[in-house]
Amino acid sequence: MDLKIALLSGDGIGPEVMEQAVKALQAIEENFGHNFSYKEAVVGAIAIDKFDDPLPEKTLALCKEADAILFGAIGDPKYDNDPSAKIRPEQGLLRLRKELGLFANIRPIKTFPTLVDNSPLKKEIISGTDFTIYRELTGGIYFGEKKINDNGTVASDLCEYSQKEISRIAHLAFKAAKNRNNKLTLVDKANVLESSRLWRKVVSKIGESYPEVTLHYLFVDNAAMQLILNPSQFDVILTENMFGDILSDEGSVIGGSIGLLASASIGEDNALFEPIHGSYPQAKGGNIANPVASILSAAMLLEHFSLYEEAMVVREAVDKSLEKGIVTPDLHAGSKYGTSHVGDFIADRIVENHDDLNMNDENIGLGKSTII
Ligand code: IPM
Ligand code: MG
């Protein structure tokens, strides 16, 4: 298959983890005879530094003409502590989502059997957890009207949803539940918010056309509790933009590291794949960031184009790295493996793709990988 992939590595650790995801994709190309082309563009703080714009026109144009976008991370502390900053790196990602109509953000959360001891939660609680969050991504409080009064003492953000915005993602979530375990949980705050009541009305109506899927409703405060009390009860969670943002970070605790979580943002004509983690500026350039989330985002990209076997090979290689302890320090304190070592191991494993690689740990430690 030929694919044009736009690479937006962004800020902080973005470029480092992105490099590993590209290695994995190149290994897939080599293994399966595909032909992917990669073009880079800037976004976020680095784009503000260069062009005074977190999403330059050129970047947007490249994304529009690409088949898929691979995204690194966005954000820089120099903007976080300056509430008066007019231009912020995050605006680049938000505008990209809006301009490309990436309304469905899909965030799978799963425990890796080899990592159950990594989570701060008890093994008995998290074992067997496997659910996916469908987060609405282009509406709600993120994009509603923002106001601040003249003397800067009163501010508001409007949370607005239309029936159309709710129903298009609801259909995707119901379909996903149908292909999984037939359970969909709508998370909202319908006891307080009018917008949540609209979500309930629209989603329950759509539910009638998916009779095999059982629809549950959960208030977001209770959902936040259930997620760490009994996460294996969930199959597909459907929710609005901000609740999904918050719950997906909470969900990352289950797997033991946010460095493991991938996501896909899907629209009608475009698709973007990105790790859930942020730009982790303290680790920038340190070769310690976990590249797994980025590599698994590349696996989701492959799945999006129905390259299921290829995606499976990537996932197997990731599992192998976890099993063999070829992991970054967030998963194993004091680990001697860095971002690029883990990336090399996974790419090598994809190329080899047979059961016992007899990988020489010493060579990996020295970065002497067979493919780069
Ligand atoms: C995410 C991030 C973004 C969001 C930020 C960087 C704007 O937290 O993708 O979850 O809030 O959506
Ligand atoms: Mg977030």
SS3 string of 190-203? CCCCHHHHHHHHHH
What is the DSSP code string of 162-185? -HHHHHHHHHHHHHHHHHTTSEEE
Distance (angstroms) between ligand 1 centre and the Cα of 5 equals 22
Distance (angstroms) between ligand 1 centre and the Cα of 142 equals 10
Distance (angstroms) between ligand 1 centre and the Cα of 75 equals 10
Distance (angstroms) between ligand 2 centre and the Cα of 45 equals 17
pLDDT at site 79: 87
Mean pLDDT of 117-124: 91
Residue nearest to atom 8 of ligand 1 (CA): 245
pLDDT tens-digit map of 122-178 = 999 999 999 999 999 999 999 999 999 999 999 999 999 999 999 999 999 999 999
In degrees and rounded to multiples of 5, residue 290 shows phi and psi of: -75, 120
| Residues with Cβ within 8 Å of residue 55, at least 6 apart in sequence | 43, 47, 91, 92, 93, 95, 96, 99
For residue 81, what pLDDT band results from cuts at 50, 70 and 90?
A: confident
Mean pLDDT of 5-25: 97
Q: Ligand 1: which atom is nearest the Cα of residue 94?
A: 7
Residue 186 CA to residue 264 CA, distance in Å, equals: 19
Residue 293 CA to residue 106 CA, distance in Å, equals: 13
> Quick check: 362 pLDDT over 90?
no
Pick from 245, 265, 276 the residue to mutate for probing ligand 1's pocket: most ligand atoms within 8 Å of its CB: 245
pLDDT at site 360: 47
Structure tokens at 167: 């129903």
pLDDT at site 62: 98
Q: Is 45 in the pocket of ligand 1 (CB under 6 A)?
A: no
For residue 367, what pLDDT band results from cuts at 50, 70 and 90?
A: very low
Which sign does the torsion angle of CA 225, 226, 229, 234 carry?
A: negative
Q: Is 17 in the pocket of ligand 1 (CB under 6 A)?
A: no
Q: Ligand 1: which atom is nearest the Cα of residue 249?
A: 10
pLDDT tens-digit map of 288-312 = 999 999 999 999 999 999 999 999 9
What is the torsion angle, in degrees rounded to the nearest 10, for the CA atoms of residue 148, residue 152, residue 153 and residue 154? 0
For residue 115, what pLDDT band results from cuts at 50, 70 and 90?
A: confident
pLDDT at site 80: 80
Based on its alpha-carbon atoms, the radius of gyration of the chain, rounded to whole angstroms, reads: 21
pTM of the model: 0.91
Residue nearest to atom 4 of ligand 1 (CA): 245
> Quick check: 372 pLDDT over 60?
no
Q: Is 141 in the pocket of ligand 1 (CB under 6 A)?
A: no
Q: In what order do the strands lie in the sheet with 262-266?
A: 35-40, 2-10, 68-73, 271-275, 262-266, 104-110, 130-136, 236-239, 183-188, 214-219
pLDDT at site 255: 82
Q: Which amino acids are annotated catalytic? A: 142, 189, 221, 245, 249
Cα–Cα distances in angstroms (integers) from residue 213 to residues 110, 171, 185, 274, in the given order: 21, 12, 10, 28
pLDDT tens-digit map of 25-79 = 999 999 999 999 999 999 999 999 999 999 999 999 999 999 999 999 999 998 8
Q: Is 74 in the pocket of ligand 1 (CB under 6 A)?
A: yes
Q: Which ligand is nearest to the CA of 138?
A: 1
Mean pLDDT of 7-14: 97
Lowest mean pLDDT among 112-116, 194-198, 243-247: 112-116
For residue 210, what pLDDT band results from cuts at 50, 70 and 90?
A: very high
**What is the percent of the chain where pLDDT is above 90?**
85
pLDDT tens-digit map of 303-337 = 999 999 999 999 999 999 999 999 999 899 899 99
Residue 32 CA to residue 309 CA, distance in Å, equals: 10
> Quick check: 357 pLDDT over 50?
no
Structure tokens at 20: 């590993």
In degrees and rounded to multiples of 5, residue 3 shows phi and psi of: -140, 135
Q: Is 93 in the pocket of ligand 1 (CB under 6 A)?
A: yes
**Mean pLDDT for the chain?**
93
Closest CA to 259 of 293, 295, 298: 293
Structure tokens at 222: 């209770």
Distance (angstroms) between ligand 2 centre and the Cα of 365 equals 33
> Quick check: 235 pLDDT over 50?
yes
| Residues with Cβ within 8 Å of residue 286, at least 6 apart in sequence | none
Q: Is 319 in the pocket of ligand 1 (CB under 6 A)?
A: no
What is the torsion angle, in degrees rounded to the nearest 10, for the CA atoms of residue 114, residue 119, residue 122 and residue 123? -10
Q: Is 137 in the pocket of ligand 1 (CB under 6 A)?
A: no
